[in-house]
Amino acid sequence: MAYKIGVIGDRDSVMPFKLFGFDVVYAKSAKQIRAMIESMAKKSYGVIFITEDASERAIETIERYKSEVTPAIILIPSHNGTKGIGLKEIQNNVERAVGQNIL
């Protein structure tokens, strides 16, 4: 089964992902962001990249999918720079898998 890759965030941050053939969605409100995550999850998206700014508006929805195999929701910095949320998530996942923070 071939999975799709989606990107959710503000226009300036996610526009470049179109060059790679990813499905790009511009969403600003919490309602739009949550709806797009749910929609992509139902449509066989294997990976959903979401900007850190947008992820702050859909924390509950993202948390629900953390225990699922697909979609993998990956936080990325916006065009304004990183807030460190994505890196912290990676460190937490590595620590959970290995038993200690090796990063």
Domain harbouring 79, CATH code:
3.40.50.10580
Is residue 26 assigned to a domain? yes
Dihedral sign (CA 39, 41, 47, 51)? positive
103 within domain boundaries:
no
> Does 11 map to a domain?
yes
Domain that holds residue 46: 4-98
Residue pLDDT, tens place only, 53-100: 999 999 999 999 888 888 989 899 887 777 777 677 777 666 666 776
Q: Per 3-state DSSP, what percentage of the chain is helix, strand, and coil (rounded to 5)?
A: 45, 25, 30
If one counts the domains in the chain, the total is 1
Q: In what order do the strands lie in the sheet with 72-76?
A: 23-26, 4-9, 45-51, 72-76
The CA distances from residue 19 to 22, 33, 38, in Å, are: 8, 22, 24
Domain presence at residue 51 = yes
pTM here is: 0.82
